[in-house]
Structure 1
Amino acid sequence: MRRSPWATLVVLALAQFIVVLDVTIVNVALPSIQSDLGFSTDGLQWVISAYTLLFGGFLLLGGRASDLLGSRRVFMAGLVLFGVTSLAGGLAPSPGWLIAARAVQGLGGALLSPAALSILTVTFEHGRRRNIAMGVWGGLAGLGGTAGVVVGGMLVDSLSWRWVFIVNVPIVIALVAATPLIIRHIAPHEGNRSFDLLGAILGTGGLLAMVYGVVRAEPVGWSSFEVIGFLAAGVVLLAAFVAVEARTAAPLVPLRLLRSRALSTASGALGLNGAAFLAMFFLTAIFIQQVRGASALTAGLEFLPMGGAAILAAVATTPLVTRFGTRPVQVAGAVLDVVGLVLLARAGAHDSYASGLLPGLILFGIGIVAVSVPAQIAAVVDVAHREAGAASGVVQAFYQVGGALGLAVVTTLSTSKANSAIAAGASQADGLTAGFHRGLLIAAAVSLGTIAVSLMSPRLEPDPEQIAEAAAAA
C-alpha cells in the first residue's frame, strides 16, 4: 500500500507537538496542582524537573533504540507510554504519584521524539522536500510551546488541572491507531551496536541525585548529611558515566565530539539557556497567579507575547547567522536574556502588565531563541556529517538536563528567600515577590554565564545549504 509522506509528516508533527506542549502546558497549572495535592513549595518543581530530566537523560538512548529496534516500533512504544502516563498523571491522588507519572512520561517522550525525527529523515529525501518537512516539524513544535500556556490556562479554568494531562490521551489514541496505516515499516540498522543502557542509567541517576540534593538543601540545609550524601552520590555516578562512555565501543555520548570547541561551547550555552528558561517560566507562572491574583487563563495569555516574540525571532535569526556568523548572534541573544530577566525582576505585585512584565517577557522571548538557533547550527556544522545526528542529540540532552539542574538551583534559592522574608514578618505576597525577584536575578546571572560561554565559541559563518542541513539534523 502506498503511503503519503505528507500524511506521515502530520502524524510525526502532532506527536512532537504534544511532547513540546507538555513542557509548557503544566506551568500555568502549577498553583492549582499545589493547592489540590498539597505539594510543598520546594517539591512542586519536580512536576517539571521529573519530566525534563528523564526526557533529557534518556533522549540519546531513545535514538539508539530507534536505530536498533526500528524507528516505527520505538515511536509507537513511546506514544503508548506517553499516553498511559498522561492518564496516570491526570488521575494522580498524591504528589508522589504525579511526579512518578511525569518521570515516566518524560521517558516516553525520549523514545518517541528521536524515533519521529528518524522516520522523518528517512521519509523525505535530502533537499527541498525535507527542508519543507523540517520547517513544518519545527514550526509545530514551536507552536506547541506557545500554545501550551493558553491551552493549559483554558483547561485549568474551565475544567481542572487534571485535564492538562488527560488532553493528551485522545490525541495519542488517534496517533497510535493511525501510525501502522500511514507510516511504513523501517527496518532496524544492521550490526551489533550496544544500547549502552548502563551509560544512560548512570548519567540520569547521577543527575537525579544532584537535583534531589539541591532541592533538599532548602528544608534541611546545605550542610546536612542527606544533602551532602546525594550530591556526592551524583558526582560519583556522573564520574562512572564518563568512565563507561570512554570505554564502551558504542557510547551514547561520544566524548571525542566534545573536543570540538563549537560543539562543547554550544552544549554549554544551551544548557545555561535551558536553565534560565525553565526557571523564569516556573517562577513567573507562580508570581502571576499567586501574587498578582490572575487566573490560569490570564497567566497563559500574558505569556503569549513572549511566545510570539520567540517565533518571530526564530524566523529572523537564521538570516542573521548567515550574515554575521554564529557567535555575534548568540552573544546578542544572551545579552537580551539578561536584560529581559533584570526587567522582570523589577516587576511588583501591583505594577501594570504593560510596564511590569511585558517588556521583560518580549526581550527574553527574543533572546532565548537568538541563543538556541546559532548554538544548534554551530554544534552540527562543525562536526563530520555522519556524526551530525549524535551531535544534535548531545546538545538537545544538554538543554533539557541544564534546564532541570538550573530550575532546581534557582527555585531552591528563591524559596529560601521567600521563606526567610515571611518568617521575618512579611506578608505571603511580599515574601513570594522577594523570592521571585531573587530567583530571576539568579537566572540573569546564569545568562551572564551564557554570554561568557558564547564569547568562547568560534565564529562560524555557515552558508544557507549548511544551515538547512543543520536544521535537518536538529
Structure 2
Amino acid sequence: MSTTSTTASSPHPSRTGAPRSRGPALAVLSVAMLMTILDGSIVTVAMPAIQRDLGFSPAGLSWTVNAYLIAFGGLLLLAGRLGDLIGRKTMFLAGNAVFTAASLLAGTADGPGTLIAARFGQGVGSAMSSAVVLGILVTLFAEAGERAKAIGVFSFTGAAGASIGQVLGGVLTDAFSWNWIFFINLPIGLAVIALAVRALPDDRGAGLAAGADVIGALLVTGGLMLGIYTVVQIERYGWLAAHTLGLGAASAVLLAAFFVRQAMAGTPLMPLRILRSRNVAGANLVQMLTLSAMFAFQIIVALYMQKVLGYGALDTGLAMLPAAVAIGGVSLFVSARLNTRFGERNVLLAGLLLLLGAMGWLTRVPVDADYVTDLLPVMLLIAGGGLVLPALTSLGMSGAREDDAGLASGLFNTTQQIGMATGVAVLSTLAASRTDGLLSAGTDEATALTGGYHLAFGTAAALLVAALTVTLVVLRRPEPPAVPAVPADQQS
C-alpha cells in the first residue's frame, strides 16, 4: 500500500522506532480502543439503574448515550487532522487523559446534568484518542502482511469490547452499582497513559501552520454535531417533523460550506485530495452502510431477546457471546492470512455475504424461538464481521499519504459513528412504526414486536446489498508500496 511509506511527499515523517517496539505499541493502542468500545456498550445495560438513582426522565435518560455519541462523532474528523498537525502521540495521550478524568466525574455524578456533561467529556476524550489510533498503527506496520495481522488484532479488541461490555455491565451493576461501570475506566486509562509514553513512537507533526483552518474546523464540527443530534432525535420527533427537516437542512448547509471552504483554503483542515482515492471514499461508504445494518444485530437482537423471549440483561449478554467469539476469532486468526492471500476486496465480499445470510435468517425468527436452532446459527454467521472490519480498515487507510494518516483515521472513525447513528434512527423508527401498526390491528404484543423487528432485519439486509454493490463497483485491491528510487551513486 502506498499510504504509509515515508516519501518525498511527506515532509514530516514519523519516527516509528525499532521493530521490537511495535508489539507493546500495538497492545497499548488495542487496550485504549477496547476501553472506548467497552464504555459504549457497558452503559446500555446499566441505564435502568441510572434512571432510578439519578431521577432521569425517560427522554432525558437517552442523553447518557446521545451526549457521548454527539461529541465523539462530531469531533473525530477535527481530532484526526489535529493529530497530523501537532503529533498523533500527543493527541492520543491528551485524549486518554480527558476520557479518564471524565470517567471519574461520571462515576461520582449525583444528578442528571453532571452525568450528561461527563458523558460529553468522555466523547471528547474518545474522539481525540480514537481519531489517531489507526494513523499510528499504519505508520508502525508499513509492510502489508504485518499490517494485516496488526489490524486483525485491533479488530479483535473491538469485537471483544462490544460483548464484554454487555456482560460486564450487568455484573458490575448487579454486584456493586452503576457507578462502577465508569470507575473501571480509571485504572485502565492511567495504565494506557503510562505505557503509551514509552511504547508509542514520537512524531513531530506537520505543525499548525500546515492546516490550522479555524473556520473549517468550526464548520465541520458544528455540521457533524448538529447532524448526529438530528439523526438520534428522529425516533422522538419523526422523519418529516419541522425539527428534523430544519436541523437536517442546517447541518447539510454547514457541511457543504465546509467542503467549499476546503477547496478554497490555502491550508485546509481536510485536504480534499484524500477523497480522490476510490478506496478511501468507497471503504468509508461501505462502512456506513454495513454498520447501519449491524445495528440490527447489536441492539435489535438484544431487544428481541429481552422483550419477546424474556431474557434478562446478563442472559442476553451471554447469549450473544458466541458472536463475539466468532468475530474475534476470525479477525484475530483468519482475516490477516485471507487478506494477504486473496486481497481485502475479495475477503470483504465474503464477509458481507455472511452478514447478509445472518440478517436474512433473522427475518424469520419466531415469537417462541429456540436459541440453538433459531439464534445460534446467526451468532456463527455474524463471524463475517471478523472478515469485514479488518478488510475495510485496510482499504479505508490505503489511499492516504503518511502525513494524512491521522485525517484518514479520523474520517474512517467518523463514518463509523455516522453509520451507527443512522442505523439507530432508521431501524428503530421502522421497527417501532411497524409494531404500532400491528398493535393497532389487534395483534398481540409479542407478535407485533417480532413483526417490527423482522422489518428492521429486512432493511438491514437491503443495506448490506447496497454495501456489496459499492464494493463490487468502487473498491479495488490496494497497490503495493512504492519503493523509492536509489540514486546511482548509492547503488552497490
Whole-Å Cα distance in 1 between the matches of residues 345 and 198 of structure 2?
45
Whole-Å Cα distance in 2 between the matches of residues 85 and 286 of structure 1?
29
Aligned to 1:224: 241
State the secondary structure of the residue aligned to 2:210. coil
- Choose which of 283, 287, 306 in structure 2 pairs with 1:289: 306
The structural deviation recorded for 1:119 is 6.1
Q: How does 1:42-57 map to 2 (within 5 A)?
A: 47-57=64-74
Whole-Å Cα distance in 2 between the matches of residues 432 and 39 of structure 1?
24
- Alignment pair present for 1:329 and 2:347: yes
Q: CA RMSD in A?
A: 3.6
- Alignment pair present for 1:26 and 2:43: yes
Give the length in aligned residue pairs: 461
Cα 1:321–1:68 shift into 2, 3 Å = closer
Cα 1:21–1:381 shift into 2, 3 Å = same
Q: How does 1:400-439 map to 2 (within 5 A)?
A: 400-439=417-456
- Choose which of 179, 189, 198 in structure 2 pairs with 1:172: 189
- Choose which of 258, 267, 279 in structure 2 pairs with 1:241: 258
Cα 1:388–1:119 shift into 2, 3 Å = closer
- Alignment pair present for 1:395 and 2:412: yes
Q: How does 1:272-287 map to 2 (within 5 A)?
A: 272-287=289-304
Whole-Å Cα distance in 1 between the matches of residues 110 and 363 of structure 2?
35
What per-residue deviation string (whole Å, max 9, x for no partner) do you get for residues 155-196 of structure 1? 233234443223212322444456657768655544612344
Aligned to 1:469: none
Cα 1:331–1:85 shift into 2, 3 Å = same
Aligned to 1:343: 361
- Choose which of 268, 271, 275 in structure 1 pairs with 2:288: 271
The structural deviation recorded for 1:231 is 1.8
Q: Which amino acid in 2 is paired with 1:406?
A: G
What per-residue deviation string (whole Å, max 9, x for no partner) do you get for residues 51-76 of structure 1? 34432332232233334444444333
State the secondary structure of the residue aligned to 1:294. coil
Q: How does 1:70-469 map to 2 (within 5 A)?
A: 70-92=87-109, 98-115=115-132, 137=154, 139-176=156-193, 187-190=204-207, 192-314=209-331, 315-364=333-382, 366-384=383-401, 387-460=404-477
Aligned to 1:471: none
Aligned to 2:488: none
State the secondary structure of the residue aligned to 2:255. helix
> Contact conserved, 2:351 with 2:386, CA < 8 A, in 1?
yes
The structural deviation recorded for 1:103 is 3.1
The higher relative CO (CA closer than 8 Å, separation ≥ 6) is in 2
For structure 2, which runs of at least 5 residues remain unmatched after alignment? 1-17, 483-492
In the superposition, the TM-score normalised over structure 2's length comes to 0.80
Q: Percent identity?
A: 36
The structural deviation recorded for 1:461 is 6.3
**Greater gyration radius:** 2
For structure 1, which runs of at least 5 residues remain unmatched after alignment? 467-474
Whole-Å Cα distance in 1 between the matches of residues 27 and 280 of structure 2?
31
> Contact conserved, 1:90 with 1:163, CA < 8 A, in 2?
yes
> Contact conserved, 1:54 with 1:107, CA < 8 A, in 2?
yes
State the secondary structure of the residue aligned to 1:25. helix
What per-residue deviation string (whole Å, max 9, x for no partner) do you get for residues 435-473 of structure 1? 32222222222222212211212441666x89xxxxxxx
Cα 1:460–1:27 shift into 2, 3 Å = same
Cα 1:386–1:201 shift into 2, 3 Å = closer
Cα 1:422–1:21 shift into 2, 3 Å = same
What per-residue deviation string (whole Å, max 9, x for no partner) do you get for residues 303-360 of structure 1? 1111111123323233333343333332332222222122223323431111222212
Q: Which amino acid in 2 is paired with 1:274?
A: L
Aligned to 1:470: none
Whole-Å Cα distance in 1 between the matches of residues 184 and 216 of structure 2?
34
> Contact conserved, 2:42 with 2:168, CA < 8 A, in 1?
yes
What per-residue deviation string (whole Å, max 9, x for no partner) do you get for residues 220-258 of structure 1? 444332222122212212212222222233434332222
The structural deviation recorded for 1:26 is 3.1
> Contact conserved, 2:80 with 2:128, CA < 8 A, in 1?
yes
State the secondary structure of the residue aligned to 2:160. helix
State the secondary structure of the residue aligned to 2:364. coil
Cα 1:57–1:345 shift into 2, 3 Å = same
> Contact conserved, 2:79 with 2:132, CA < 8 A, in 1?
yes
In the superposition, the TM-score normalised over structure 1's length comes to 0.82
> Contact conserved, 2:72 with 2:126, CA < 8 A, in 1?
yes
Cα 1:210–1:178 shift into 2, 3 Å = closer
The structural deviation recorded for 1:296 is 1.9
State the secondary structure of the residue aligned to 1:293. coil
